[in-house]
Amino acid sequence: MIDAADDLRLALAATLRAGDGLELAAAAGAMVTGEIERIDGVDFCVRLRDTAALPVGSLLAARVHDGVTAWFCTFIALDAAVDGDGSCLAELRLGDADRVTSERWSERRPLECPALLRREDTGAVVRGVAVDGSAIGVAVLVRDVDVPAGTMLGVTLAGLGGGGIAFRGLVRRRTWTHDGRLLGIEIADVSAADLARLERALARARA
């Protein structure tokens, strides 16, 4: 038997309940919202709204906050079918889960480094500068270009964490300044190693 103390997937699953909402980032970049109908260990039955049936093997990334801890996780589609009301009833397996260990998981700290942004919808590359960040997102200043809210990006922060930090991010908001456009990018999917490097960089910024 798998022990939740040894498997972070079960530890995350234990914080969720039927009826909880999920916001998932599909591999193609689209955001998908849904509601959990059933949880069995690391297997989830989720009703997804406004989406076609997912191909078996599709990956969906999510960030979950249980009120105390932030989690990054990936779900794998085992089966899915469009229901009579147009929603998609999906059988998902929790593939991995990483817990943000910092007690100040949302505290923003200065992060001054080059940022390379690759739009997943067009493939266009945008160069900018990271201004600040936390364990759940970063603010990046870009010039002479606009990136709409809702755009999925491949983000690389150069020179941090001993070489760079990479993750998938979603543009949540953008504001205009006299220096350019400031993008608020939420982390949608990140590896455990890159998350650890980001937390170390934030810890140094706090010192």
The number of residues making up the chain comes to 207
Kindly report the CATH number assigned to the domain that includes residue 26: 2.40.10
Q: Contact, 153 vs 166, CB < 8 A? A: no
SS3 13: helix
176 and 114 fall within a common domain: yes
Query: Sign of the C-alpha dihedral, residues 177, 30, 28, 65?
Result: positive
Q: What pLDDT digit, counting tens, does each position of 19-58 carry?
A: 999 988 886 667 788 999 999 999 999 999 866 668 889 8
Domain coverage including residue 61: 8-99
Q: Amino acid letter at 180?
A: G
Q: Is there a single domain that holds both residue 17 and residue 87?
A: yes
Say if pTM beats, i.e. exceeds, 0.85: no
- Residues 162, 125, single domain; the answer is yes
Mean pLDDT in residue range 194-205: 85
Say which residues have a Cβ less than 8 Å from residue 140's Cβ, sequence separation at least 6.
Answer: 115, 117, 128, 129, 130, 131, 155, 182, 183, 185
Section 96-101 average pLDDT? 80
User: What average pLDDT does the segment 167-171 reach?
Assistant: 91
Report if residue 104 sits inside a domain: no
Q: Do 64 and 126 belong to one domain?
A: no
195 lies in a domain? yes
In a domain, 3, yes or no: no
Q: Are 117 and 175 found together in one domain?
A: yes
Same domain, 85 and 13: yes
Residue with tokens 């929603």, as numbered in its chain: 87
For residue 34, list its beta bridge partners: 22, 48
